[in-house]
Amino acid sequence: MAAAISEMLNALQDSCLPERGLLRLYDLTEKQMFLLLDLAAALKQDRQTGRCGRLLSGRNIAVPFEKSSTRTRVATTVAIADEGGRSEYLSANDMHLGKKESVKDTARVLGRLFDGIMFRGFAHRTAELLADHSGVPVWNGLTDEFHPTQALADLLTVRERFGNLQGVKLAYLGDGRNNVANSLMEGCAKAGMRFVNCSPPQLSPRADLVAHAEEIAARTGGQISIVNDPVVAVHDAQAVYTDVWVSMGEESKREERMDMLWPYQVNMETMRRTGRLDDDSVIFLHCLPAFHDHHTELTRDIGALEVTDDVFEAPFSKVFDQAENRMHTIKALIAASLAPR
Ligand code: CP
Ligand code: NVA
């Protein structure tokens, strides 16, 4: 193991990482969050030069997912395999969780057999119950409310492009109260960034989450703004971020969301309004999957939804860097909890 990686792991482990794992970004101190980003960057560099370690040798990690996933699932299983560990993926069909068995009982079984759990599900409460009763770290791979491992990858991607996070302006457009928007707000507040959430008033984030983010931002020198006008939101933004208009589990809301969210589509005009296209100082971000062309069932007849194809495919679009960074950040997170000292 490279000395730098070992030092970062020691620093993280000395810092008393939450034993319950990571359910939302508030579980981490700012220092821990930055250490995780540094560790992820170092692990990424090692992998790019063909070096992987044995940080998770002998470790077994359960990956129970109630919802579909491409990135989070493979980011987790590849991260674990890279470091010599073993993962067991359980889809909703493979488990009794919440059907024939309570979450508490499933938690106790998984905790007896596994060293950690990467969970994806609907109710955030399920993740909390798993953490309360399994006795092993639980990492939230997305719930209805939060997507903290996504936000870690997003922050790493922004930092790779701009060299730092302090003061960087990120404008999020679309469904302002979903899991991705909530975790991004927490992450940007902790990183001292200028975060703008721009959505129709009906889709603004919960007041308590905003208040909490504002409290953190006051400490870190960041700024949290909630606005409804996309023109105002993107002015001077260095990163423009969007997500799907209808999250998993909300399919019945499709029609009303489409009516509400067209003005919040990210297109070339949106990117131009940042005032940063000409000097190439703006990036586009999306957690993916994205409806940017005619290639999905939903968009076959109507074309792009939350982002147009020209923006998605532009050189300033960093969406596949984000996707790759899911793996490096998840690897850092799991190693921080489970690597031997
Ligand atoms: N961004 C993300 O979480 O993607 P998946 O749904 O494919 O895991
Ligand atoms: N908000 C989206 C994110 C997908 C990664 C959803 O929950 O479906």
Domain that holds residue 154: 150-319
- Say how many CA atoms lie within 13 Å of 204 toward its Cβ: 15
Give 197 Cα–ligand 2 centroid separation in angstroms: 16
pLDDT of residue 1: 65
Residues 116 and 246 in one domain: no
CATH at residue 140? 3.40.50.1370
Residues 15 and 121 in one domain: yes
Closest C-alpha to ligand 1, atom 6:
69
Residues 59 and 206 in one domain: no
Task: Name the stretches of the chain with pLDDT < 50.
Answer: none
- Please tell me if the CB atom of residue 153 comes closer than 6 angstroms to any atom of ligand 2: no
- Looking at the CA of 150, name the nearest ligand: 1
Residues 38 and 110 in one domain: yes
Residue with tokens 């979903």: 178
Residues 94 and 177 in one domain: no
Structure tokens at 191: 């990183």
Give 164 Cα–ligand 2 centroid separation in angstroms: 26
Residues 84 and 232 in one domain: no
Residues 141 and 158 in one domain: no
Which secondary-structure segment (H or E) carries 324?
Answer: helix 319-338
Whether the full predicted model's pTM is greater than 0.95, yes or no, is yes
- Looking at the CA of 72, name the nearest ligand: 1
Closest C-alpha to ligand 1, atom 3:
72
193 class by beta-carbon count within 10 Å (0-12 exposed, 13-18 middle, 19+ buried): buried
Residues 121 and 21 in one domain: yes
Residues 187 and 298 in one domain: yes
Residues 10 and 141 in one domain: yes
Closest C-alpha to ligand 1, atom 4:
71
pLDDT of residue 235: 98
Q: Which numbered atom of ligand 2 lies nearest the CA of 69?
A: 5
Does the annotation count 16 as an active-site position? no
Residues 155 and 138 in one domain: no
Residues 43 and 105 in one domain: yes
Q: Determine if the peptide bond prior to 201 is cis (ω within 30°).
A: no
- Looking at the CA of 322, name the nearest ligand: 1
Count of domains observed in the chain: 2
